[in-house]
Structure 1
Amino acid sequence: KIFAALPKNTKLRDPAPETLKFASEAFASMPLEQLKNVFLFRELYGTPDDSNPEYFQVLFGFLQRQKGGPKERPDRQERCTEAVEDTFGMELDAELIPILFPKFPSDRMEKVAERVRASIVSGLEKNTWLSQTAKAEAIRKVSKADLMLVQPKREIDWHFLPVMTYDVTKPLTNQKRALQAQIDRELREVKSKRNRREWSMSPLTVNAYYSPTNNQFVLPLGILQFPVFDPKMSDVENLGAIGVIVGHELGHGIDDSGSKYDHQGRVRNWKTAEDKKDFDARAQKFVDLFNGYGHNGELTLGENIGDHEGVTFAFDAAFPDASKAKPEDVQKFFTA
């Protein structure tokens, strides 16, 4: 029924073929009663305390012992708050932002981000070891990266759930209605032109990320608070704080992983074999350095490179001519 609602030319990705194969074989061979039991368990998995406290205690103890779950569960008020936030994160943030951040200087944050972007492009233009084709691709990718900063600009980008009536006496029914609304919306969107500027993270979330498949950097309002960003701080200090994060995330777009995607987010490796060989040789120095500190340099390589890029590009944005930088300003940058 779900697949029937998809356009015939829709491509489906199967990230775990072994799991799908096992499930298909199980559905074909398991007795109907067993399948019903599995389905019932999955349906009730998250709500047994409301219907069967004895069963819930057994499940809670199992998760605590085997999966490192908490020894004590949050009280009902906290659980209810979390449930509402999980379901209506966008809607809540749209109401709260004008109250919590009535005069947030979005334009200043955007200028900081653009200064870091310009610094990355300038650094790439001066690069001496990338091939000319790779250099051009890297510059185009950074220049075309979509910076989604602070909060959604259009109502359609908020990705609100449709307006519905909920019953305060039927929490489980409310959850099912909200989930079904999300599923219906996703099925409709598959048939529509993709909105690349749609936010998948509510803007009061304390986080930031780069999406290689969209060539998109998302920096929500939630993280833009002291000490990461402060309108009262100087540009140098903000570049030393949030600017480093901007450089780190945009840098992911041109590292060993990001270079597998082009400026439109399509899977296309734009580094030559020689570029990759040179990159790997330089990256090995990071591996060796962090191995010496007791880390697994291979495991942390991507983030270590990102941190190096973040500091380098943010510093260059703050001090285009380092020879003229005042020592006190440099100190502010590194202590921000």
Structure 2
Amino acid sequence: MNIKLKSYFAALGILAASYSAQAQSPAKFIDPANMDLTVKPGDDFYKYASGTWIKNNPVPAKETRWGSFNALRDFNINAVKGLVEDAAADKSAPAGSVKRRVGDFYAAAMDSITIEKLGYTPIKADLAKIKLIKDIPGILDHAAYLRTTGLASPMFSFSVGQDRKNVNKYLTQLGQGGTTLPDRDYYLKDDSRSVKIRAAYDTYITTLFTLTGSSAAEAKKKASAIMAIEKQLAEAQMARVEMRDPHKTYNKFTVAEFSKTTPGLNWTTMLPKFKVNGQDTILVSSPKFFTSLDGMLKTVSIADWKTYLEWNVLKSAAPNLSSPFVNASFAFTQAQTGQKVQTPRWQRMSQLTDGTIGELLGQLYVAKYFKPDAKVRMTELISNLRKAFEIRIKGLDWMSDATKEKALAKLHAFVPKIGYPEKWKTYDGLQIGRTTYLQNLRNSGTWAYQEMVSQLGKPVDRTRFGMTPPTVNAYYSPTMNEIVFPAGILQFPFFDPNADDAVNYGGIGAVIGHEMSHGFDDSGSQYDKDGNLRNWWTPEDKVKFEAKTKALGEQFDAYTVLDTIHVIGKLTMGENIGDLGGLNAAYTAFKLTKQGQSEEKIDGFTPDQRFFLAWAQVWRGNVLDETAAQLIKTDPHSPGPYRTIGAPVNMDAWYKAFDVQPGDKLYKKPEDRIRMW
């Protein structure tokens, strides 16, 4: 995750939170004490750049991985903790004020005495309602009710977002869904990891049903029914790699036309249940999924569908109920990720506050921690990266002038956003009580859903941020053609106003370039300067570009993550192109600076060496084996060790900086180096 923009966006790295730039500045921006200088950079640049740090920073018990992003998040979450605790303690904050609302939300979330007393009482009425359902129309009505109240999202995804071929208009959008495990493969494959996770899932289901009054035999029977339904839904889903194709997932229908393909799901009558009226068109990412679901409405018993709806309520509520439910939820997480101990409650609730009312908390965060000079410096860096990208596009030897003209027009149309939104969400109408934790979550879910569907018929709001201000991350939105950098990422190791240019360009410069490159990756390159899904390439240039993406995919396919598990080059393609294009653009921009044109060493390293070492230290980290195995199926980003080397091994400047020669393990012949953007 996580607050998400309703249109697709490509995000960099790990989603986490942040702190202020000044607070964490280290004595050395490139510290040899973190490196392993016994290793040749041409043999293992990852270990050379970060070997000692990796050795000295194992994964803490409450984490599943630990690296630069996590260290920032951990430092920052304490800053957020200070904000929410101060807000909760301030009894003088006026009713309805930002501080009072944040404080009340957090205080309710931390009221564990009340939460323990309630057990699962907050959802008893929801489970009782499901028991009263008599038929399939009742099942569908209730599925819509769960979605519109934010209680759960059974069967499929339902959202409002930009029409990718007419980005000035919002459309109702349907997508595949209905499953619980992280990827469809966990239902369909019989490797040892998948079997183990399915067994843990079965235990999780039976435990929660037992906690809500089912006998052991009943709970086991319910688990079997749920697994059978979810397996069928998984079989109908498109694979993640397939879902990366924006044309395959763009299927526009009239409501009447789509209803003919799914007679059991009459969308003319269904849409009003989802509080959508007056819409005659719908966008469907996977029509095949819905025809399969339509068939399941005939073949799956009403009793089993009721069990499935009960499960959706249970699994959504479990992390927010009393300890037995929270512990069962964590045991399931543990089986998937290997995490040793539960994240402390204060941390989970701080993050929940950010994820639920992030633009209220964000106002407190920005007021205390965001430095206006960081925005000024970022604006300058973005301008320099745009110039560098322009230089690189003009210099491409594989692209025709006709396509270059369109690429440059798209580059010039990029809209940068830095720090926080110009216009904050006010959350008008959202009721937050100091003693009603579950009701606060329910109110938030209902409010967020209503806010989403209320966009229909209105002009597209281009002021929105898809991430909260404290987030250590960045993203590119192809439909908005915007690059967005929340306040949280504007700190070391990405950015520090006191750092030399090599460090800032190898860090935040490469992040800026990465997000720009998403506009030109295998997916983003299919959108024009206005954000519409429309081809702007000559056929010949498209063929050349696809040959380069194929070569990059093969490079990453060869990287082994864990025993026989390899990086999936097609799944990670967009991020790998982002890294390759971004690091090249950042290097070109760096070479335009005074330091970039000098050979003056700092701490024994040349400017070029510092640039590449700054890049490498961003991606250092450790990860639990279970988490690594899960991420390789679900995360579109390559693992840190391969992000460290994936772009540099294709850059002549890296070879020169570290005197990498034939015979070194990472050496690629000049003619084999992939030169894209």
Report the TM-score range of the alignment, normalised by the length of the smaller protein.
Answer: 0.7 to 0.9
Check whether the contact 1:112–1:235 (CA below 8 A) recurs between aligned residues: no
Residues in 1 aligned to 2:292 and 2:550: alpha-carbon distance in whole angstroms: 40
Q: What is the alpha-carbon root mean square deviation over aligned residues?
A: 3.1
Q: 1:81 to 1:59 in 2, by over 3 A?
A: closer
Whole-Å separation in 1 of the counterparts to 2:548 and 2:320: 56
Letter in 2 for 1:136: E
| Change over 3 Å in CA distance of 1:132–1:82 after alignment to 2 | same
- The 1:131/1:101 distance shift into structure 2, 3 A limit, reads same
Alignment-mate amino acid for residue 127 of structure 1: L
Task: Deviation per CA, 1:267-309: give whole Å up to 9, x if none.
Answer: 1122222112222334455455556665658344443333232
Alignment of 1:61-140 (within 5 A): 61-62=331-332, 64-65=334-335, 67-68=336-337, 70=339, 72-140=341-409
2:534 is aligned to: 268
Between the aligned partners of 2:468 and 2:454, the Cα distance in structure 1 is: 21
What residue is the counterpart of 2:488 in the other structure?
Answer: 222
Q: CA deviation at 1:266?
A: 0.8
Aligned counterpart, 1:211:
477
Q: Cα gap change, 1:40/1:98 in structure 2, threshold over 3 Å: closer, same or farther?
A: same
Mapped partners of 2:549, 2:318: distance in 1: 50
Q: Partner residue of 1:234?
A: 500
Using the alignment, how far apart are the partners of 1:35 and 1:287 within structure 2? 41
- Partners of 1:111 and 1:71 in 2: CA distance: 43
Match of 1:298 in 2: 569
Shift of 1:89: 1.6
Deviations 1:299-320 (A, max 9, x none): 4444333323222211222224
Distance apart, 1:185 and its partner CA? 0.8
TM-score calculated relative to the size of structure 1: 0.85
**Residue in structure 2 matched with residue 255 of structure 1 by the alignment:** 521
Q: Deviations over 1:98-146 (max 9, x none)?
A: 2123444211111101110111112212333212221111001111011
Distance 2:480 2:443 in 1: 30
Cα deviation for residue 53 of structure 1 reads 5.8
The CA distance in 2 between the partners of 1:319 and 1:94, in whole Å, is: 37
Q: Is the 8 A contact 1:7 1:191 kept in 2?
A: no
Greater mean deviation of Cα atoms: 132-141 or 82-91: 82-91
Which shifted more, 182-191 or 236-245?
A: 236-245
Query: Structure 2 vs 1, CA of residues 164 and 49 (structure 1 numbering), >3 Å: closer, same or farther?
Result: closer
Q: CA deviation at 1:259?
A: 1.7
Which residue does the alignment assign to 2:316? 46
TM alignment of 1:19-30, pairs within 5 A: 19-27=289-297
Number of aligned residues: 332
Shift of the 50–148 alpha-carbon distance from structure 1 to 2, 3 Å rule, reads closer
Q: What code does the residue aligned with 2:469 have?
A: P
- Asked which structure has the greater RCO (Cα within 8 Å, sep 6+), the reply is 2
2:578 counterpart letter in structure 1: G
Alpha-carbon separation, structure 1, partners of 2:506 and 2:341: 40
Match for residue 170 of structure 1 among 436, 440, 443: 436
Partners of 2:584 and 2:319 lie apart in 1 by 52
Q: Which runs of 4+ in 1 moved over 6 A?
A: none
CA offset at residue 36 of structure 1? 3.9
Paired residue type of 2:467:
M
Q: How far off its partner does 1:80 sit?
A: 2.8
More helix as a share of residues:
1
Q: What one-letter code is carried by the residue in structure 1 that aligns with 2:361?
A: L
The structure 2 residue matched to 1:315, chosen from 587, 600, 604, is 587
Q: Counterpart of 1:316 in structure 2: which amino acid?
A: T
SS at match of 2:461: coil
Which blocks of at least 5 consecutive residues in structure 1 are unaligned?
none
Deviating more after overlay: 192-201 vs 35-44 = 35-44
**Structure 1 residues 134 and 83: CA distance shift in structure 2, 3 A:** same
Task: Verify the 8 A CA contact 2:558 2:567 in the aligned structure 1.
Answer: no
Q: Is the 8 A contact 1:251 1:306 kept in 2?
A: yes
Give the letter aligned to residue 369 of structure 2. Answer: L
Q: How high is the TM-score relative to the length of structure 2?
A: 0.44
Match of 2:666 in 1: none
